[in-house]
């Protein structure tokens, strides 16, 4: 174990050679800033003042040439090779709700949801403790680096963790999960992580905006809200966008949302009509952020937003809400994975 002192914070933590600075800090209850945990967002940048770290991914896209010139590192991609003194601006909003832990998990079942999305259920000996909307890091045999996937399930004492995962062309993580893993096999789950979790104390109606496998955390959030006593009288608007009709999962899956069709209203749209050559799609055609804008109109400022999906969809939705319609960013929750 190495000792990591955080400059000007009066705090320090221990980090083993096999852990990253970010995750060791969070495990110790230190508010190290982060979002994605996998080298894509840049939130975990820090400076080494003394000591040495080893980078797991020197070309991580989150570090710009300017960051490299300034000697900045990523907490989620750095392992210590000595005691260190580091400089990082701690952010109390990143304080873990539940202590992140690495644990063994056994795959219990696999279920097809769309042509390229499957639900994977894992079981752990420990309780599944997390806030709806959070994600875990899956360490998969033969796949370099962990993969971040959100739970679509609820916290539970039985240790059940369900993930809704989309196959990514040439994605090594999803390839392993879709083509190799079988029920009974074990992997390591590490977490929970993530800041775009359900805020049960905010007295506003909820809008969920999902694209692709961004559906998973939003199903978890919408389900938690539907069950929550404080939300009994509130409606939840659930938007889901896909490229073609085959990307939109059927009602049988979405009926898992309690109250669907009554308190939860569901809106889906497709953005690539060429992917519907036989004109089977009867719903709206366009980007999902356009559906949100069109349906909520001048009430856009009234809601609490949870957004998850591919980077272009997330960017377009943020641009529409925060820039075009001046929705306060405090009311928009998302984790950046780009």
Q: Which residues pair with 74 in a beta bridge?
A: 45
Query: Does residue 78 touch ligand FES according to CB under 6 A?
Result: no
Of residues 44 and 221, the one with the C-beta less far from ligand FES: 44
Distance of CA 236 to the CA centre of its chain: 20
CA-angle at 29, arms to 129 and 61, nearest 5°: 90
Of residues 73 and 199, the one with the C-beta less far from ligand FES: 73
Query: Does residue 313 touch ligand FES according to CB under 6 A?
Result: no
Query: Does residue 76 touch ligand FES according to CB under 6 A?
Result: yes
Query: Does residue 42 touch ligand FES according to CB under 6 A?
Result: yes
Read off the DSSP letter of residue 180: T
Residue 333: partners with Cβ closer than 8 Å, 6 or more residues away: 133, 195, 196, 197, 199, 304, 305, 306, 307
Of residues 43 and 174, the one with the C-beta less far from ligand FES: 43
Residues near ligand FES (CB under 6 A), total: 14
Packing angle of the helix pair 311-318, 288-296 (nearest 10 deg): 30
Query: Does residue 194 touch ligand FES according to CB under 6 A?
Result: no
- Tell me if residue 198 falls in helix, strand or coil: coil
Phi, psi of 323 (to 5 degrees): -90, -55
Determine the interface stretch with ligand FES among 40-48, 103-111, 145-153, 316-324 (rule: CB under 6 A).
40-48
Q: Residues 35, 160, 190, 247: which binds ligand FES (CB under 6 A)?
A: 35
Distance of CA 227 to the CA centre of its chain: 21
Integer Cα distance of 307 and 194 in angstroms: 13
Of residues 72 and 300, the one with the C-beta less far from ligand FES: 72
Least distance CB 241 / ligand FES (angstroms): 24
Least distance CB 89 / ligand FES (angstroms): 14
Query: Does residue 245 touch ligand FES according to CB under 6 A?
Result: no
What tokens does 239 get?
A: 């938007």
Least distance CB 159 / ligand FES (angstroms): 26
- Contact between residue 193 and residue 134 where contact means Cβ atoms under 8 Å apart: yes
Could you tell me what percentage of the chain is helix, strand and coil, using 3-state DSSP and rounding each to the nearest 5?
25, 30, 45
Least distance CB 328 / ligand FES (angstroms): 24
Least distance CB 33 / ligand FES (angstroms): 8
Tell me whether strands 72-74 and 45-50 are parallel, antiparallel or unpaired: antiparallel
Of residues 43 and 213, the one with the C-beta less far from ligand FES: 43
Phi, psi of 104 (to 5 degrees): -75, 140
Query: Does residue 19 touch ligand FES according to CB under 6 A?
Result: no
Q: Which residues bind ligand FES (CB under 6 A)?
A: 34-37, 39-44, 62, 74-76
């Amino acid at each position: 174990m190495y000792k990591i002192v955080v400059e000007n914070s009066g705090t320090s933590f221990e980090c083993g050679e096999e852990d990253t600075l970010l995750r060791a800090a969070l495990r110790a209850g230190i508010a190290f800033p982060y979002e994605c945990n996998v080298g894509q967002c840049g939130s975990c940048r820090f400076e080494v003042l003394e000591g040495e770290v080893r980078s797991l991914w020197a070309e991580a896209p989150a570090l710009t040439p300017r960051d490299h010139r300034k000697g900045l590192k990523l907490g989620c991609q750095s392992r210590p090779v000595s005691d260190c003194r580091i400089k990082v601006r701690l952010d109390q909003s990143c304080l873990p709700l539940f202590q992140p832990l690495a644990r063994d998990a056994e795959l219990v079942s696999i279920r097809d949801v769309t042509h390229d999305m499957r639900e994977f259920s894992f079981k752990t000996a420990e309780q599944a403790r997390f806030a709806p909307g959070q994600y875990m890091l899956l360490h998969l045999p033969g796949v370099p680096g962990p993969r971040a996937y959100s739970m679509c399930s609820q916290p539970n004492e039985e240790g059940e963790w369900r993930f809704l995962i989309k196959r990514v062309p040439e994605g090594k993580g999803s390839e392993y999960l879709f083509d190799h893993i079988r029920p009974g096999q074990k992997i390591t789950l590490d977490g929970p992580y993530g800041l775009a979790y359900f805020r049960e104390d905010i007295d506003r109606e909820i809008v969920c905006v999902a694209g692709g496998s961004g559906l998973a955390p939003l199903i978890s959030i919408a389900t938690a809200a539907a069950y929550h006593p404080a939300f009994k009288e509130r409606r939840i608007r659930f938007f889901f966008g896909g490229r073609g009709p085959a990307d939109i999962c059927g009602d049988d899956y979405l009926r898992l949302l309690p109250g669907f069709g009554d308190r939860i209203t569901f809106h889906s749209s497709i953005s690539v009509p060429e992917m519907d050559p036989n004109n089977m799609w009867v719903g709206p055609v366009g980007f999902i952020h356009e559906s949100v804008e069109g349906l909520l109109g001048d009430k856009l400022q009234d809601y609490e937003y949870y957004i998850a999906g591919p980077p272009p969809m997330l960017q377009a939705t943020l641009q529409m809400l925060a820039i075009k319609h001046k929705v306060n960013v405090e009311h928009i929750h998302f984790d950046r994975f780009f």
